[in-house]
């Protein structure tokens, strides 16, 4: 497992080093992010779903995601009653704690350990979370930021998300069996850049306040622990095993979505909290959850 993870860690360190050396700057990070969002990630999703063996039982994957995100949202609200934070920081917590960074973290890990079959499972799990993120969580961010929001705004936000349409098209291609060598060749070329771009971006965006690192590490561990507990409960309730169980556990423990940083910026929430939380959660996820997934992959 270390042999599989070490190249990912080193590539992330390379991204961090290139930023520190000022070879790459914030504008380059923005460009890499756009390439991931509009090209590499949709290609990876399309390829995984178009070639996957999908069965009706897989509906339990998005249902499991709903169990987890609703549970995490409830836990976050209970925690806020005890913490009594100001609205900007409280809003930052409520938008990060129940969300998952599937595209930049979960997808590469599942692809590396389980291949395209594992990737297709976590994409289906992530579908429900993505809709929840772009509707419920987006509205919560606006409410804590006291910004006006309409149903039209939410629909437009969802319609402008490339990976949402990649999921829809991937499912259509799979059902209609439209796969052909030209399509798969194009998807392979675009999708093969995914891991490189994601790991460079994660390294470039890594940032945490050393003075308060302990608090963010503790919060990240709480999120991972709660996510794994809810994910395990969902797999037991729905009878999921093997790669499906691994996909639920991998998704349930993911770090907060990077889109929450955009939500925080739009609604004047605590962006420093969001950045530090994500930066602390990503390496912890790789240290705690990736070995668990490797163990599941080796289990009979």
The 3-state DSSP class for residue 264 equals helix
How many C-beta atoms lie closer than 10 Å to residue 179's C-beta?
A: 14
**pLDDT of residue 279 exceeding 60:** yes
Average pLDDT, the chain: 87
pLDDT band at 154 (very low <50, low <70, confident <90, very high): low
List the one residue out of 125, 29, 142 whose CA is nearest residue 91: 142
Contact yes or no for 155/135 (Cβ under 8 A): no
| For the chain, percent of residues with pLDDT exceeding 90 | 34
pLDDT at 55: 79
Cα separation, 124 vs 244, in Å, equals 10
Largest CA distance in the chain: 57
Handedness of CA 259, 260, 264, 270 (dihedral sign): negative
pLDDT for residue 1: 53
- pLDDT of 36 reads 84
Q: What is the mean pLDDT of residues 69-86?
A: 95
* Token pair listed for 247: 């996909």
* Interior/surface letters 13-31, b for 16+ CB within 10 angstroms, e for the rest: ebbbebbeeeebeeebbee
Residue 226 has pLDDT above 90, yes or no: yes
Residue range 173-193: average pLDDT? 86
pLDDT at 80: 94
- pLDDT score for 75: 98
Cβ-contact 238, 64 below 8 angstroms: yes
Predicted pLDDT of residue 273: 92
* Nearest partner of 131 among 169, 168, 171, judged by Cα: 168
Tell me the pLDDT tens digit for each residue of 36-46: 888 988 888 88
Buried b / exposed e over 256-282, threshold 16 CB at 10 Å, is bbbbbbebbeebebbbebbbbbbbbbb
Residues 6+ apart with CB under 8 A from 300: none
pLDDT at 127: 85
Angstrom distance (rounded) from CA 237 to CA 119: 22
Q: What is the pLDDT of residue 211?
A: 64
- What gap in Å lies between CA 202 and CA 12, rounded to an integer? 6
CA distance 216 to 284: 11
Compute the average pLDDT of residues 183-200: 86
C-alpha–C-alpha distance, residues 286 and 280, integer Å: 11
How far is the C-alpha of 166 from the C-alpha of 107, rounded, in Å? 14
Q: Is the pLDDT of residue 208 over 80?
A: no
At 149 the pLDDT is 64
Confidence of residue 6 (pLDDT cuts 50, 70, 90): confident
Residue 237's pLDDT band (boundaries 50, 70, 90)?
very high
pLDDT digits (tens, 9 = 90+) for 282-300: 889 988 888 888 888 877 6
Instruction: Please tell me the predicted confidence (pLDDT) of residue 209.
Output: 65
- Give the gyration radius of the chain's Cα atoms: 18
Query: Looking at the domain that runs over 55-175+212-298, which CATH code has it been given?
Result: 1.20.1530.20
The model's confidence at residue 255, banded by pLDDT at 50, 70 and 90, is: very high
Domain boundaries, the chain: 55-175+212-298
Give me the helices (H) in the chain, please.
2-20, 26-35, 41-51, 60-83, 87-96, 107-132, 138-144, 151-159, 162-176, 181-191, 194-205, 213-238, 242-252, 259-266, 271-298
Q: Residue 91 pLDDT more than 60?
A: yes
| pLDDT above 90 for 96 | yes
| pLDDT value at residue 191 | 85
Q: Give the relative orientation of helices 194-205 and 107-132 as an angle to the nearest 10 degrees.
A: 70
Mean pLDDT value across residues 200-218: 79
């Amino acid at each position: 497992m270390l042999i599989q993870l070490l190249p990912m860690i080193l590539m992330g360190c390379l991204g961090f080093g290139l930023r520190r050396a000022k070879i790459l700057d914030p504008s380059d990070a923005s460009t890499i992010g756009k390439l991931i969002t509009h090209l590499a990630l949709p290609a990876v999703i399309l390829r995984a779903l178009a070639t996957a063996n999908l069965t009706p039982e897989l509906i339990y994957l998005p249902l499991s995601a709903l169990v987890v995100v609703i549970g995490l949202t409830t836990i976050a609200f209970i925690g806020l009653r005890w913490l009594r934070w100001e609205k900007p920081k409280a809003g930052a917590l409520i938008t990060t704690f129940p969300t998952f960074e599937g595209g930049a973290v979960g997808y590469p890990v599942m692809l590396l350990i389980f291949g395209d079959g594992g990737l297709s499972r976590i994409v289906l799990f992530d579908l429900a979370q993505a809709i929840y993120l772009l509707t419920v969580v987006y509205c919560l961010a606006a409410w804590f930021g006291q910004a006006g929001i309409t149903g039209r705004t939410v629909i437009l936000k969802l319609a402008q998300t490339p990976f949402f349409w990649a999921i829809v098209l991937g499912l259509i291609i799979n059902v209609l069996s439209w796969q052909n060598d030209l399509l798969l060749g194009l998807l392979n070329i675009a999708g093969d850049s995914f891991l490189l771009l994601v790991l460079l971006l994660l390294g470039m965006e890594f940032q945490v306040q050393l003075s308060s690192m302990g608090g963010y590490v503790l919060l990240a561990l709480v999120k991972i622990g709660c996510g794994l507990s809810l994910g395990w409960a969902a797999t037991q309730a729905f009878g999921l095993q093997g790669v499906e169980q691994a996909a639920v556990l991998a998704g349930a423990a993911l770090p907060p979505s990077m889109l929450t940083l955009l939500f925080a910026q739009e609604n004047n929430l605590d962006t420093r909290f969001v950045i530090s939380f994500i930066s602390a959660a990503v390496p912890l996820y790789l240290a705690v959850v990736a070995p668990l997934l490797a163990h599941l992959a080796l289990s009979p």
